[in-house]
Structure 1
C-alpha cells in the first residue's frame, strides 16, 4: 500500500500541473508568429546548388544557330580548345546539358571587343564575361579582334555561381 501511495502522488501532481490556466493570448500569438516565420523561411529557401559543366560548342551547333562568321568572341576555359560561350553584340550562346541556351545582351553593361557585352541574361541563367587584357575604350574594342585571357561566370535564378571558368578568348571583328 505504501508503494502504491508513492507511485500515485507523482502521477497526481502531474495531472494537477496539466490542469493549469490557458496560456496568455499574447504569448500564444507571439509563439504562433515565430513558428509561422520559421515555416516561411524553410519554404523560401533555395534548392540545393547544382553545379553545371557546359558542353563544348561544336561546328554543327554553330551552323544550326547561325553563329558562323561575324563579330563575336569565343570563350574556351581551361586548357580546352572547345568554346563554351559564343558572345555577340546582341546575344550569347552556351551549351548546357547538350542544348544550346541563348542569352540576350544587357545593353547597359560594359562593352568588350567585337561589340560584345559583360552581361547576358536568359530565362534560367545569367552570364557574366570578363576580359583581363582587353582595350579599355569602346572605340578600340570595336576595331580590335585578337586573343585575350577571360573569365566566364554562370549564375542560377537565385544569383548563385553554378559555373566559372578562366581561359582563352578569341575575338573576331
Structure 2
C-alpha cells in the first residue's frame, strides 16, 4: 500500500513539470481575457447629480434670452433646465452645462426637443397635458413636466417633476 502511494505521488510530481495541453491553455487564456474585459466594461458607481438653480447672472453669461422653456422641480421657482430650439442648459457643480438638441427627437412646446445630448450626460424632457396662460407673464404658457438626467451609461442620475414655463 505504501508503495502504491509513493508511485502515485511520484507520478503527480512528474506531471507538474509538463507543459499544459494547448487546448486547455487556450481555454484558460480565453477565460482570463473575458474576466479582464468584464472588469474594464463595468460602469463606475452611480453618482447622483443635484442641479442648481439657474440664476439671472447665469442667464446673462450664457446669453439665454429669447424663446425657451424653463423647468423648475416641485414648487420651486428656480429653473434647473432652460431648453431652447437648438440647445439646453443645466447648472451642475457651479458650471453651466450645454446640451445639443437631438434633431430626431420629438418636438415639445416652444419648439424644444424631448432629448438633448452633452459630453457627460443626456437630458430627457417631457411636457404633460395642455398648458395654461401664465398670469404673471403675458407671453408665457405653464405646463407640468419632468426632466431626466442620464450618465453616459444611460443610468438616471437626476429626475425632477414640476412646472415648465414656455415663452419669450
Are 1:112 and 1:134, in contact at CA under 8 Å, matched by a contact in 2? no
SS in 1 for 2:166: strand
Give the TM-score normalised by the residue count of structure 1: 0.82
**Cα shift readout 1:39-77 (whole Å, capped 9, x = no counterpart):** 111012111111100011011111111113x21100001
Of the three residues 53, 59, 77, the one matched with 2:73 is 77
Any runs of at least 4 consecutive aligned residues in structure 1 with deviations exceeding 3 A, and if so which?
9-16
Structure 2: stretches of 5+ with no match in the other structure: 132-138
Aligned residues: 159
Consecutive unaligned residues of structure 1, counting only runs of 5 or more, are 1-8, 136-143
Separation in 1, partners of 2:129, 2:142: 9
Q: State TM-score, norm by structure 2.
A: 0.84
- Is 1:97 paired with 2:89? no
Q: Distance in 2 between matches of 1:146 and 1:14?
A: 87
Residue number among 145, 150, 172 corresponding to 2:145 in the alignment? 150
Question: RMSD in angstroms over aligned alpha carbons?
Answer: 2.4
Q: Secondary structure in 1 aligned to 2:129?
A: coil
Distance 1:151 1:10 in 2: 74
